Amino acid sequence: MSKLEEPFERAEVVDSPGIVGSRWWHKGLVDAPKDASRRSAIMVALGVVGLSGVAAALAVVADGCSGDDTEVQRKRALDMQRSFGWSFGAAQESVTFDGESKKPFDKGALARMSTDLRPADESLRAYYVPSLFESPYAAPTLVPEGDPAPVTPLGTVLRPIFTPAMDRAYRSGKALASLLLAARTPSGLRRDIAVLVDLDGPESVAFAAGAAEAFEPVFTFDNWPHPRGVVKAHLTLAAAAYYQPLFARPPSGPRATMLVLDRQRLSAYSDDATQFDNRYVARLPAADALWARGVRHVLYVVPTEMDAVESDDLNDDLVAYRMRQIDVGMIAASVFSADAGEPTPAGATDEWPPYYYGGRAATHGWFWVDYPWGPPPAPVPVEPAVRRPGKHYVPTSRATPFSGTSLGGAQPVPETFGTVPVVVALGTGAILGAALSRSGSWNRASGGYGG
């Protein structure tokens, strides 16, 4: 006999104002035959209140059902957020924005973000991942039966941010762009160099904004923010909101390719009960696709000279590029800095001071010596005094959790990576809510899931 067919017995009568619907529920049980099954008792109670009382009925039913009536299953985090809202399982919580910008902000522009930040070059749109930029005003399509708390739209709480780290990244990106602009040929900007930016989300966005005159940004952020998110995607989104007007400007002409990643996408994750696993794996163009675009050099941008190894999910791709005879170099964003000895000119704007490769105007052109992807600079620049181990970088195949069976093939993903535990009703298959939630009725119930 299934649990739903067993006789339903009342262990106690609850008539407390703190339990919504207890009076009508117990009235329904009194009217039910003594040998009624769980299923028929539930139906009697629902008949008393109609469909509007289903959620309240489920709250009390959970008290009389054992844990066998539900089970915990893992579902893809982004799928759950698309269906039930960005704050799935934590609807009464929100996010905070350190470094909030005080500049005027057109909140209505958020609805255009996925379009404004889309590559102007249509041939690059196949690699663009708009997921993050679609989140501000995405409407839930379903309501979890056990946790029907309303979800506040993300767009109503989103605030642009601008931090000192973003400012440094912006100037570094602008310095890299100046090198490509100075190397332009009579036919236009060189497009045989592609850049892969792998900084923390807000700094990656800022770097791309600074470099936008020479490089077409292709954003690859495949997650949504969450109040308990392992990846602080709301800060990346807030940085994108700050630079959105700049990205929305039409380009003056064709630009080189810049793939933009959030380095936090693989953040450490340990606790289902307190964390929401909104991690994801980067998706890069295949080596053959880059070669067909005329790309012969890839520059991989990392935060500092201490970050001498590529992120785990990029190893297969970068090794595949090298095997396709595409040069792959690594550069630390920290190698760009201001020239402390350069006087501030009259009328300097907030773009001052400029950043240079090696930290001095005299060393800026040395980039083309460390990365000999063009004619030697003239006049001969001064070699920077700062450490630059990235110039010796060569991607080498290594075992990672994301290693594929063949280079350039589909990357495997660990089974539970980017998933969250949800409570599912066995009888109907309905999703009651996120297991991490403490607001759902099945978590408060003595027989429900409370882990």
- Please state the separation of Cα 42 from the chain's center in Å: 42
**pLDDT, tens only, 202-224:** 999 999 999 999 999 999 999 99
Same domain assignment for residues 18 and 121? no
Same domain assignment for residues 48 and 140? no
**pLDDT, tens only, 361-412:** 999 999 999 999 988 888 889 999 998 988 899 999 999 999 875 444 556 7
When comparing pLDDT for 10 and 445, which is higher?
10
At residue 29, the pLDDT reads 43
Question: Taking all residues of the chain, what is their mean pLDDT, rounded to a whole number?
Answer: 84
Looking at 348, 363, 392, the residue that finishes a domain is: 392
Same domain assignment for residues 52 and 96? no
- How many domains is the chain partitioned into structurally? 2
Question: Average pLDDT, stretch 281-297?
Answer: 97
Name the pLDDT band for 20 (thresholds 50, 70, 90): very low
Residue 397 covered by a domain: no
Residue 422 covered by a domain: no
Same domain assignment for residues 59 and 92? no
**pLDDT, tens only, 78-112:** 999 999 999 999 999 999 998 999 888 999 999 99
Q: Going by C-beta distance under 8 Å and a sequence separation of 6 or more, which residues neighbour residue 212?
A: 173, 177, 246, 247, 251, 255
> 0.85 cut: is pTM over it?
no
pLDDT at position 22 over 50 = no
Share of the chain above pLDDT 70, in %: 80
Q: How far apart are CA 119 and CA 127, in angstroms?
A: 9
Residue 60 covered by a domain: yes
pLDDT at position 32 over 70 = no
Rounding to the nearest 10 degrees, give the CA dihedral for residues 35, 39, 43, 46. 120
Looking at 374, 392, 410, the residue that finishes a domain is: 392
Residue 95 covered by a domain: yes
Query: How big, in percent rounded to 5, are the helix, strand and coil portions of the chain?
Result: 35, 15, 50
Same domain assignment for residues 101 and 235? yes
Residue 100 covered by a domain: yes
Question: Average pLDDT, stretch 336-345?
Answer: 90
At residue 63, the pLDDT reads 42
Share of the chain above pLDDT 90, in %: 67
Same domain assignment for residues 61 and 160? no
At residue 68, the pLDDT reads 58
At residue 25, the pLDDT reads 39
Same domain assignment for residues 137 and 55? no
Q: Lowest-pLDDT range, 45-54, 200-209, 347-356?
A: 45-54
Residue 415 covered by a domain: no
Residue 117 covered by a domain: yes
pLDDT at position 135 over 90 = yes
Question: Average pLDDT, stretch 48-56?
Answer: 39
- Residue 362, CA distances (Å) to 95, 335, 383, 402 in order: 44, 14, 8, 42
As given in the structure block, the two tokens for residue 422 are: 């949800």
Q: Lowest-pLDDT range, 32-36, 69-73, 126-130, 243-247?
A: 32-36
Enclosing domain of residue 40: 1-65
Same domain assignment for residues 58 and 92? no
Residue 413 covered by a domain: no
Looking at 65, 90, 109, the residue that finishes a domain is: 65
At residue 437, the pLDDT reads 55
